[in-house]
Structures are given as C-alpha cells and as structure tokens.
Structure 1
C-alpha cells in the first residue's frame, strides 16, 4: 500500500488524493508537517532520483527560504539533507508518496498514471 505524505491545506495534495481515489489506488495518508517521511524513506527517494536532492525539497516554502537552502543545498551531504528533511515536514516537497517500488514527489497526473497503473 502507498503512503501519501500530504498537507491538508495544499491544493496539489488534494488533487493527488482525489486522483488516487478516482483511480482506486489504495493508500494511507500521513500529515507531512506532523509526521515527516522517515530518513529511510527519504533515502529511498534519493536513490529513485539518482542522488539528486533538489526534487525532494519544497523550494517554494518559507522554511526553505528562511534557512537559505538555495545556497546551502548544493554543498550538503545526503545525510545532512535527509536529516533536515526528516526533521521538518515543511521542507519536503508534497505530496511525497512511497510504496512498493514507487517513489513520487509532487503531483503530475501523467507521471502518476505511468507509475501506479
């Protein structure tokens, strides 16, 4: 079963959850701010994105800007980035979806269709 880390105030998350429901994809929802993805889940995502950390970050969020991550991210180690993300759900791009052999970050219907059908 898929785990969907989402924020109830996020339009993109609502669209993604609606898509999952309409397509009959079983899933559980976790509140990303209160329960961020684990370090293990984030490491799976790093591997899925061939080591690229940037897609995992909510680059339009206030926390990202306040922490100056635009400049810091290029020099961060994977461990530093994963520790930061697993400790602050506001920094994780949402929705963040993980399941058996599937890692999805953000919502694009065509990408989800390919990955989940």
Structure 2
C-alpha cells in the first residue's frame, strides 16, 4: 500500500492517522520529492474510476496560477494528466494505491468501505 502525500497537507495527516489507527501498513511517498509519473497517473486515473477533474487539487495555488478552471473545459484527459505529471502540487491528495484500489482525497467512510472489509 502506498500513500502519496504532501507533508504540510492536513488531509494527508488525517489519512496517515487513519491508516495507523487501523494498523494498516503503508509506504509513505512525498509527492514533491518523488512526483507521480505520467504512467502512474494513467494507472491512478483508470483504477480510480473518477472523472479526470477529481484528480485535480482545485483549492491549491498551482490550480489558480495555471488557470485550470478554464483549461479543464477544453483540455483532453491526456493533456490534464501531462500537467499533473509536470506539477505535482496540482494533484489532489492524498492518493492511496493498494492493488486495484485507488483512493483520491480522504473520505473516512470510503476508506473504511474499501480498506476494512
């Protein structure tokens, strides 16, 4: 199980606490130090089953700087994935990867459902 996070992200801290509280082993990956590759982002997108827009950190500075609100209306999925690979802080966090399960963001109810069956 891999947890992709940003160290200063409060939501990522909640996810880490959840995993520790439930005795779930994971490898921590700092997104700034080891960004997700385009191949990994393709896999995350496919396995998550979410619309491409759900992979974007819409509340972040990079989202505003790149004017993503307008770009997502016209960019293809491939163009958005490429931007995500070039700008790690544009990726919504945390990203949990575990076998065929990919969880984007931290929703405790969803994490319980997917990880504690």
Identify whether the pair has TM-score above 0.5, normalized to the shorter chain. Answer: yes
| Bigger mean CA offset, 44-53 vs 106-115 | 44-53
The aligned runs of 1:44-59 (5 Å cut-off) are 44-50=43-49, 52-59=51-58
The aligned runs of 1:85-96 (5 Å cut-off) are 85-96=84-95
Displacement after TM superposition at 1:65 (Å): 0.4
Q: Secondary structure at the match of 1:35?
A: coil
Residues 51 and 8 of structure 1, relative CA distance in 2, 3 Å threshold: closer
Give the equivalent residue in structure 1 for 2:28. 29
Between the two proteins, the alignment pairs up a number of residues equal to 116
Asked if 1:17 corresponds to 2:16, the answer is yes
> Scaled by the length of structure 2, what TM-score is found?
0.91
* Rounded Cα–Cα distance in structure 1 between residues aligned with 2:28 and 2:11: 14
Residues 63 and 90 in structure 2, CA contact (< 8 A), matched pair in contact too: yes
* Rounded Cα–Cα distance in structure 1 between residues aligned with 2:48 and 2:99: 16
* Rounded Cα–Cα distance in structure 2 between residues aligned with 1:96 and 1:75: 25
Displacement after TM superposition at 1:47 (Å): 1.9
Displacement after TM superposition at 1:91 (Å): 0.2
Give the equivalent residue in structure 2 for 1:5. 4
Instruction: Compute the RMSD of aligned alpha carbons.
Output: 1.3
> Which runs of 5 or more residues in structure 2 are unaligned?
none
> Scaled by the length of structure 1, what TM-score is found?
0.91
Asked if 1:78 corresponds to 2:77, the answer is yes
